[in-house]
């Protein structure tokens, strides 16, 4: 099974491997050089010592004074110089330290060839054993020549303890190892910190993209770095903004599509109804009127006839509203003062308001510019909204209209606010009431406000419900007043 490693883990592993390899090879090279230097130095020191001993004993050697030679040997050996052996020109031992007299290999054999010149020397390392002591030694043998003579008198072999050298090598190795470990630790710490610096913004990015993938387009990825990761975060944020925008536009387009589909079906339905019902309804209406006009009806029959006529009125109203709503309407625009359109609507509804004893207050700002509209259509809108207001208030209630101007994104707009002190509209229905067939009334059709919105939108305006202080509802209609048209 493949294990998925995080970027940071992979980065750290690589850094550790590279660092370890680097530190190890550097240490290896340095250590080898150090060891070679220490060995060389030990050898040079040993050769110097051997020459010094040869010079010291030259006289005894020339005089063939074996006794002095022997006693010198015993005096001259110390902790570091473990043995000395003198040989004659034929390689036979003349004198040697006591400790190695038993060791035939060391004592009896000269390593130099009989014809070795003044610069010849033999250097070798080996084990040196005496009871209670066993160590590695560096054995050096050099020839002894009489001053200004080409004749070799003999040779001297010295054994130098390598203990010191080994100790020095161990010390150097230990220091190097310590340095290496410290370097490795610093490197690891640095890579850990660097890894975190690199990994954290990437982690943020990954978390952000996961949130966005789950559909949370409002999430923005925080990043203030100027590097590639910051750039990635920024372009990601840009992409989410675009996505969010697109989603909203699609939702809006979808809503419009549904709306258009709904309107189209209402249109087809309305046409069918008009065709199928209108003609028979007209004849039913006529006949009922005829029957109702007869003299021979008693009170109960007259009441029944009246009920029938109410029903027929209701059906006619329904058909009329539906046809109004669906009829493809080309606007027939001209410049009209808003108060004039309102006044004509008020006149039409005067009877309705009076019947319910509802007061209608109208206020208009003095310098209202005219609007370029289809006055019949706008009157239709005002009629629908005012009729709703009248229906919503109790008998004796109040409806108020205020007209003024107000700018929206630099464009002057005529504003008509219609408020009442009636039942009010719950906030959750503020948009629903503009949907076709939304009604809360027993004999309502639910097309009045849908129709109103359609007309206002055709004029490039808006109609909406606003929050109202106190009881009742407040509708606001805004129409662009394009001066100079």
Ligand X SMILES: Nc1ncnc2c1ncn2[C@@H]1O[C@H](COP(=O)(O)OP(=O)(O)O)[C@@H](O)[C@H]1O
Task: Tell me which residues touch ligand X (CB under 6 A).
Answer: 384, 388-389, 392, 420, 422-425, 433, 438-441, 444-450, 473
Q: How many residues bind Mg ion (CB under 5 A)?
A: 2
- Would you say 10 or 441 has its CB closer to ligand X? 441
The residues in 404-463 that bind Mg ion, with binding defined as CB under 5 A, are 448
| DSSP type of residue 343 | H
Q: How far is the CB of 346 from Mg ion (least distance, A)?
A: 17
Contacts of 69 (CB under 8 A, 6+ apart): 57, 60, 61, 86, 94, 95
Q: How far is the CB of 464 from ligand X (least distance, A)?
A: 12
Q: How far is the CB of 456 from ligand X (least distance, A)?
A: 13
Q: CA of 314: how far to CAs of 112, 123, 266, in Å? A: 141, 132, 18
- Would you say 110 or 345 has its CB closer to ligand X? 345
Q: How far is the CB of 325 from ligand X (least distance, A)?
A: 10
Q: Which does 440 bind (CB under 5 to 8 A by kind): ligand X, Mg ion, none?
A: ligand X
Q: Which does 420 bind (CB under 5 to 8 A by kind): Mg ion, ligand X, none?
A: ligand X
Six token digits for residue 196: 């975190």
- Would you say 195 or 422 has its CB closer to ligand X? 422
Using CB under 5 A, which of 388, 419, 421, 473 touches Mg ion? 388
- Would you say 81 or 393 has its CB closer to Mg ion? 393
Q: How far is the CB of 452 from Mg ion (least distance, A)?
A: 9
> What is d(CA 39, CA 172) in angstroms, rounded to the nearest whole number?
13
Closest CB to Mg ion belongs to which residue?
A: 448
Burial class from Cβ neighbours inside 10 Å (0-12, 13-18, 19+) for residue 431 reads: exposed
Q: 299-326 vs 448-458: helix axis angle to the nearest 10? A: 30
- Would you say 23 or 381 has its CB closer to ligand X? 381
Contact by Cβ (8 Å): 413, 476:
no
Closest CB to ligand X belongs to which residue?
A: 448
Q: How far is the CB of 391 from ligand X (least distance, A)?
A: 7
**Helix, strand, or coil here: 476?**
strand
Contact by Cβ (8 Å): 154, 86:
yes
Q: Which does 389 bind (CB under 5 to 8 A by kind): ligand X, Mg ion, none?
A: ligand X
Q: Of all helices (H) and strands (E), which one includes residue 123?
A: strand 122-130
How many CB atoms sit inside 10 A of residue 86's CB? Answer: 26
> Phi and psi for 124 in degrees, rounded to 5?
-155, 145
Chain centre distance of CA 287: 77
> Phi and psi for 156 in degrees, rounded to 5?
-125, 135
Q: Which does 19 bind (CB under 5 to 8 A by kind): Mg ion, ligand X, none?
A: none
Q: How far is the CB of 449 from Mg ion (least distance, A)?
A: 7
- Would you say 154 or 436 has its CB closer to Mg ion? 436
> Phi and psi for 208 in degrees, rounded to 5?
-60, -50
- Would you say 454 or 459 has its CB closer to ligand X? 454
Find tokens 């109702």 and name the residue: 292
Binding mask 339-378 for Mg ion (x = CB under 5 A): ----------------------------------------
Q: Which does 370 bind (CB under 5 to 8 A by kind): Mg ion, ligand X, none?
A: none
Q: How far is the CB of 364 from ligand X (least distance, A)?
A: 21
How many CB atoms sit inside 10 A of residue 408's CB? Answer: 12
Q: Catalog residues that contact Mg ion under the rule CB under 5 A.
A: 388, 448
């Amino acid at each position: 099974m493949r294990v998925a490693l995080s970027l940071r883990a992979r980065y750290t592993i690589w850094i550790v491997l590279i660092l370890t390899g680097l530190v190890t090879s550097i240490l290896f090279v340095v250590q080898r050089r150090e060891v070679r230097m220490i060995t060389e130095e030990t050898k040079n020191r040993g050769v110097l010592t051997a020459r010094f001993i040869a010079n010291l004993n030259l006289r005894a050697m020339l005089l063939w004074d074996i006794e002095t030679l022997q006693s010198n040997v015993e005096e001259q050996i110390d902790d570091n110089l473990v043995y000395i052996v003198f040989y004659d020109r034929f390689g036979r031992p003349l004198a040697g330290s006591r400790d190695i007299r038993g060791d035939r290999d060391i004592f009896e054999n000269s390593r130099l060839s009989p014809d070795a010149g003044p610069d010849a020397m033999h250097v070798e390392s080996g084990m040196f054993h005496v009871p209670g002591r066993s160590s590695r030694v560096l054995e050096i043998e050099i020839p002894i020549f009489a001053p200004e003579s080409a004749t070799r008198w003999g040779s001297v072999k010295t054994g130098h303890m390598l203990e010191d050298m080994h100790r020095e090598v161990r010390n150097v190795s230990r220091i190097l190892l310590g340095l290496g470990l410290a370097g490795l630790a610093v490197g690891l710490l640095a890579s850990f910190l660097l890894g975190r610096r690199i990994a954290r913004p990437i982690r943020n990015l990954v978390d952000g993209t996961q949130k966005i993938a789950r559909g949370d387009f409002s999430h923005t990825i925080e990043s203030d770095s100027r590097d590639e990761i910051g750039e990635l975060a920024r372009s990601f944020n840009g992409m989410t903004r675009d996505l969010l925008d697109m989603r909203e536009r699609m939702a809006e387009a979808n809503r419009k599509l549904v709306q258009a589909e709904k309107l189209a079906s209402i249109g087809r339905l309305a046409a069918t109804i008009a065709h199928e019902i209108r003609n028979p309804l007209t004849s039913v209406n006529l006949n009922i009127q005829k029957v109702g006009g007869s003299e021979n009806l008693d009170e109960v029959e007259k009441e029944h006839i009246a009920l029938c006529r109410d029903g027929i009125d209701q059906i006619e109203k329904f058909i009329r509203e539906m046809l109004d709503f669906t009829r493809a309407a080309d606007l027939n625009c001209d410049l009209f003062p808003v108060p004039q359109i309102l006044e004509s609507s008020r006149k039409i509804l005067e009877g309705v308001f009076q019947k319910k004893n509802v007061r209608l207050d109208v206020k208009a700002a003095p310098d209202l510019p005219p609007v370029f509209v289809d006055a019949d259509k706008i009157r239709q809108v005002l009629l629908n909204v005012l009729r709703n207001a009248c229906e919503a208030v109790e008998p004796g209630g109040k409806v108020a209209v205020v007209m003024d101007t107000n700018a929206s994104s630099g464009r002057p707009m005529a504003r008509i606010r219609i408020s009442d002190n009636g039942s009010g509209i719950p906030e959750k229905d503020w948009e629903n009431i503009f949907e076709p067939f939304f009604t809360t009334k027993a004999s309502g059709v639910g097309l009045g406000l849908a129709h109103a919105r359609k007309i206002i939108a055709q004029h490039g305006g808006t109609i909406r419900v606003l929050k109202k202080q106190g009881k009742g509802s407040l509708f606001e209609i805004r129409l662009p007043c394009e001066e100079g048209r």
